[in-house]
Amino acid sequence: MDNRSVTALRRVDLARATGCNLETIRYYETVGIMPDPPRTAKGYRSYDDAHVRRLKFVMRSRDLGFSLEEIRGLLGLVDDRSQTCAQVQAVAEAHLEDVQAKIADLTRIERVLSETVARCTGDAAPECAVIDALLEA
Amino acid sequence: MDNRSVTALRRVDLARATGCNLETIRYYETVGIMPDPPRTAKGYRSYDDAHVRRLKFVMRSRDLGFSLEEIRGLLGLVDDRSQTCAQVQAVAEAHLEDVQAKIADLTRIERVLSETVARCTGDAAPECAVIDALLEA
DNA sequence: CTTGAGCCTGTATCAACTACAGACCGTAGA
DNA sequence: TCTACGGTCTGTAGTTGATACAGGCTCAAG
């Protein structure tokens, strides 16, 4: 039957539906990323499809490297679609620049590391290219 | 005369000589990355050029993305050069793979973000390409 | 009726720092 | 000599983004 998944989802169901860690859901609630969900008579959290969509949004944003602070901003724009698209664009563009800077950094690191490893003899020698590369400022 | 910098360095001098944050020096001491330095009669830490070199090594390694745990391993090999170069090479190679994986991830993110931002009109429209891209799982 | 899975809360832990409070010290200039 | 400033010390708390655990409650299947 499984029509439970259409409406009343338990926390573990939300976790499974989104791939989010169980504890992280509660964490997102305490930090205001996810809303306080309605509760059953016994105090159990009860989620629906809107929660699934929102949490997927959050997880996708996290996956793209947005901070929770940035996601809070994006969610505000999602919650109030009367805001301008330009604001969203600005956040995304700033983030894009961050990502590009990180790629540049890592590419430099990658070059240094691969060059260094290539110089390694693998011997039990007293000198070592990796150590030497790290020691030379 | 400034021949103080040749031998007895204060904590702030070590920080300036390496670009390391002042508090981080103390942190590295408590976590065993930097040795407990000798103290003056009044209990002030006293550093020398060997500390500068070691801290530069640590900072360079951090800059290349090695974790403190990995750096501890590298420092062990630096401190005891009788170890094999192959061990160092293994750490560096494992790390190189990490870095390459991170570059691949970020490149994917970069592509998604730049495509998304490009689709943005920047209008005060109720629809927004960034939000839509994030909403579609 | 028992068993296992899930729920609840609060709190602790992690990396790797960073910052602050409150007290002390050391030196250069007036 | 006094004072101001910049530096030092310790311990501890806060940061981000989770993750884990303890101890107790609940629910559904067999």
CB contact under 8 A, A123 and B84: yes
Distance to chain B for A42, nearest Cα, Å: 32
Q: What is the pLDDT of residues B100-121, one digit of tens each?
A: 887 887 787 788 778 877 877 6
Long-range pairs for B37-45: beta carbons < 8 A, 24 or more residues apart? B40/B8, B44/B10, B44/B11, B45/B10, B45/B11
State the CATH architecture for A1-66.
Answer: Orthogonal Bundle (1.10)
Residue A62 backbone class (left: φ over 0; alpha: ψ -120 to 50; beta: rest): alpha
B31 touches strand D (CB under 7 A): no
Question: Mean pLDDT over residues B65-78, rounded?
Answer: 80
CB contact under 8 A, A65 and B121: no
A44 touches strand C (CB under 7 A): yes
A43 CA to C6 C1' in angstroms comes to 13
Q: What is the pLDDT of residue B93?
A: 83
Q: What is the pLDDT of residues B16-69, one digit of tens each?
A: 999 999 999 999 999 999 999 999 999 999 999 999 999 998 998 887 777 898
Distance in angstroms (rounded) separating the CA atoms of residues B115 and B105: 16
Q: What is the pLDDT of residue A112?
A: 77
Tokens 């573990």, residue? A12
Nearest-5° angle of CA A6, CA A39, CA B135? 45
Helix (H) or strand (E) holding A38: none
Cross-strand pairs, B9: B47
Distance in angstroms (rounded) separating the CA atoms of residues B64 and A110: 8
- ipTM of the complex in this document: 0.65
| Residue A29: Cβ-neighbour burial (10 angstroms; 0-12, 13-18, 19+) | middle
pLDDT band at B83 (very low <50, low <70, confident <90, very high): low
Distance in angstroms (rounded) separating the CA atoms of residues A123 and B26: 36
Q: What is the pLDDT of residue A3?
A: 38
A127 CA to D15 C1' in angstroms comes to 40
User: Which has the higher per-residue pLDDT, B86 or A2?
Assistant: B86
Distance in angstroms (rounded) separating the CA atoms of residues A10 and A30: 17
Cβ–Cβ < 8 Å for A56, B137: yes
pLDDT band at B127 (very low <50, low <70, confident <90, very high): low
**Closest-CA residue to A68 (of A99, A38, A30):** A30
Distance in angstroms (rounded) separating the CA atoms of residues B27 and B34: 9
**Closest-CA residue to B49 (of A41, A135, A26, A129):** A135
* DSSP alpha helix (H) spans, B1-137: 11-18, 22-30, 49-63, 68-79, 85-118, 129-135
Question: Mean pLDDT over residues B61-89, rounded?
Answer: 76
Residues of chain A with pLDDT under 50: 1-5, 137
pLDDT band at B136 (very low <50, low <70, confident <90, very high): low
Tell me: domain B1-83, CATH 3.40.50.300, correct?
A: no
**Under DSSP, is residue B43 helix (H, G, I), strand (E, B) or coil?**
coil
Distance in angstroms (rounded) separating the CA atoms of residues B28 and B45: 14
